[in-house]
Amino acid sequence: MNAAIVHERTYVGLGSNLANPLNQLRCAIDALAKLPNTRLLSQSSLYSSPAEGPAGQPDYMNAVAELETCLSPADLLEALQGIEDAQGRRRGLRWGARTLDLDLLLWGTQLQSSAKLSLPHPEMHRRAFVLVPLREVAPALEIPGHGLITKLLDAVSRVGLRVVALP
């Protein structure tokens, strides 16, 4: 008998603030839909938000994609980095401006922490630019170790975050 193939529900955060960010996100969503052994289930609206972190960078466009995948977290991470590279990502300053950032937010209910990958993403529960689009695609989500998304949203400021395009 064949072993059952495990499909995990996974969420990816998208961000861009260089080189036509709206287009960067749209291209990235198309690339996510083409990943092997993976299905794009839904995508959030596209949001504009002021940069968090180092000042003096352009506003970001952000969105979240919901996927179902048979890829392991490590393989999915590698695939996401491949999409970032294909869209011209230069890896320089840690929190600097970027053409495309794809953050693996959650992979099922997996908890892990390593230099390469931590799950859930260690900053996601504090970031309105992640939580607001994430709630659109997963309104009842519980973030392992942090609780319900609705509760987390009560604690973050959404100043400056606005929808610029529907899914």
| Residue 5 to residue 7: CA distance in whole angstroms | 6
Size of the site for ligand ROI (CB under 6 A): 11
Q: How far is the CB of 95 from ligand ROI (least distance, A)?
A: 4
Q: How far is the CB of 92 from ligand ROI (least distance, A)?
A: 12
What are the distances in angstroms from CA 72 to CA 10, 86, 139? 10, 21, 25
Site string for ligand ROI, 44-73 (x = CB under 6 A): -----xxxxx------x-x-----------
- Active-site residue among 30, 103, 127, 154? 103
| Residue 97 to residue 56: CA distance in whole angstroms | 9
DSSP secondary structure letter of residue 126: G
DSSP secondary structure letter of residue 94: T
Strands 101-107 and 8-16: antiparallel
For 88, residues 6+ apart whose C-beta sits below 8 A from its C-beta are 19, 99, 100
Catalytic residue list contains 89: yes
Catalytic residue list contains 26: no
Q: How many CB atoms lie within 10 A of CB 100?
A: 24
Selected from 129, 134, 135, 143, the binder of ligand ROI by CB under 6 A is 129
CB 158 within 8 A of CB 136: no
Catalytic residue list contains 126: no
CB 103 within 8 A of CB 109: no
**15 touches ligand ROI (CB under 6 A):** yes
> Which residue's Cβ lies closest to ligand ROI?
15
**95 touches ligand ROI (CB under 6 A):** yes
Catalytic residue list contains 154: no
**133 touches ligand ROI (CB under 6 A):** no
**101 touches ligand ROI (CB under 6 A):** yes
- Active-site residue among 26, 59, 91, 101? 101
Chain residues in the site for ligand ROI (CB under 6 A): 15, 49-53, 60, 62, 95, 101, 129
Catalytic residues: 89, 98, 101, 103
